[in-house]
Structure 1
């Protein structure tokens, strides 16, 4: 009798028993005969006992990114880790957006300000967003106005991030999201699984997010063909880096006058919203077990 494949879903201590998204994946995997267990990434775990470790809700890594990446390298040395360490390193710093732009993808205009660059940037005259390049769950992300108060708060926030040794990313706020929302295209093993609408998250003039992540308003959505084209192009960039499609990916897109533009390519610990669309968890579970098989 063949032993059930052991799949560990890496999470963080605050959601040690997994969130609804990962529980849906775990249930789908168990229905296919897998031995699935949650595992807190920075706890004592026998990672080598797993046939596959899938990174899921490891949302507390941001203040300890290098420790997190070192953990990923250790796990990958003793078993299979998806997504692999090189993708985790690349995608956990939003400077990767410049790589996507250079590859010809439509990306939200961005300015990257490293410590020492000061607080001025090209978007002080328009409504805009300031966030750290290394962040998750909209933590430390502010939506700021085009007025003098917005400019003052913007520069202060950039400088505050610099004081913490962090690099800031500044982008114009695309107001169409207030009505249309974001489109998140979820992919597994290079294929589109489903899409969701993410409601507008940031309030103008609001403060920093408290807690592990900002609560989101999620509903099922059918992605437009233009959105699917951008998502597929983003996956092609990943294939060009690694030679293979990532096990999982989420491509976040915003509406603009020129068509969809890419806000983020999530390859580390994205919510996949598998509890929103019937069959989505099954599709991702099938992709996971294909990786176990090789």
Structure 2
């Protein structure tokens, strides 16, 4: 009797309709997976024709349009996770799509960029009107609806808070940490819980700038060797994420990005924890797409 051939595992790399064939790094991952015998394909998350039960694994990647449609996106994630293995897992998507998680990270002692939340109905003032600061929705991605404002622009700042509130969204306000203009932001990329590589992101928000048009602001990226202090903070954040995943009864994240800024003393602080659709810069870090592909193989249901 001849050997029975098994079908290749079916893995969706989940994207949005604006980039239905994935971005460059998504293509790198697609090639790495197919080279390992995986039936990998890009799938648009809100395509009603997709049979999620026919997939062994759905890996969220370039779903960059989720922020203005968060509830719709999470409803999709619940449906997909009920019939397929969703990565990152649903509880982590629910938690990390709203930047109120920064307050929770700070509450457990992690160094976070100072953050104030202005809820709908609380007015338009905030504690950082008298310093340079950043105003953004608590649910946002790609620097959309985000402004860098000076101490001389309190009226514009309040107006932007009001504009975000008018859409029913909470606001996050943070002081602008000026060291980023020279040092840049450090993005630590973790694949399957292990630090894979790091990138330097040049300062993104111009003083007195306008709102970003399109899905995201273009980023200027270069490889970076993170400092020991940055790695220590990144590992501490990942330990907390893993603890939360365990508490929720789900797997630790397949991928994560911890974005750090230097404070006035040069100490790293967490700006964002990206667990949904972050760029992982696989096209900038040789071998990283292959490492992520191997991690995906290890997550396939047996």
Contact 2:201 2:219 in 1 (8 A): yes
> How far is the alpha carbon of 1:245 from its aligned partner?
2.4
- Which residue, out of 127, 131, 136, partners 2:132? 127
Paired with 2:261 and 2:104, the residues of 1 have a C-alpha distance of 18
**Structure 1 residue aligned with 2:252:** 245
SS in 2 for 1:282: helix
Contact 1:252 1:264 in 2 (8 A): yes
Contact 1:115 1:167 in 2 (8 A): yes
**Structure 2 residue aligned with 1:166:** 169
Say yes or no: does 1:138 pair with 2:146.
no
SS in 2 for 1:25: helix
Paired with 1:64 and 1:255, the residues of 2 have a C-alpha distance of 32
Contact 1:235 1:245 in 2 (8 A): no
Paired with 1:231 and 1:68, the residues of 2 have a C-alpha distance of 27
SS in 1 for 2:103: helix
Paired with 2:114 and 2:107, the residues of 1 have a C-alpha distance of 12
Contact 2:184 2:261 in 1 (8 A): yes
- Which 5+ residue runs of structure 2 have no aligned equivalent? none
The runs of 4+ residues in structure 1 deviating greater than 2 Å are none
Contact 2:112 2:270 in 1 (8 A): yes
**Structure 2 residue aligned with 1:49:** 54
Paired with 1:21 and 1:168, the residues of 2 have a C-alpha distance of 31
Q: How many residue pairs end up in the alignment?
A: 292
Say yes or no: does 1:193 pair with 2:196.
yes
Contact 2:56 2:301 in 1 (8 A): no
Give 1:260-275 correspondences, 5 Å limit: 260-275=268-283
Paired with 1:145 and 1:75, the residues of 2 have a C-alpha distance of 43
**Structure 2 residue aligned with 1:255:** 262
Question: Which TM-score applies when normalising by structure 2?
Answer: 0.95
SS in 1 for 2:258: strand
Contact 1:11 1:39 in 2 (8 A): yes
- Which residue, out of 79, 90, 114, partners 1:74? 79
Once the two structures are superposed, residues 58-96 of structure 1 have per-residue CA deviations (whole angstroms, 9 ceiling, x without a partner) of 111112111110100000000100011111110000000
**Structure 2 residue aligned with 1:12:** 16
Say yes or no: does 1:178 pair with 2:186.
no
- Which 5+ residue runs of structure 1 have no aligned equivalent? none
Say yes or no: does 1:94 pair with 2:99.
yes
Say yes or no: does 1:104 pair with 2:105.
no
- Which residue, out of 123, 145, 167, partners 1:118? 123
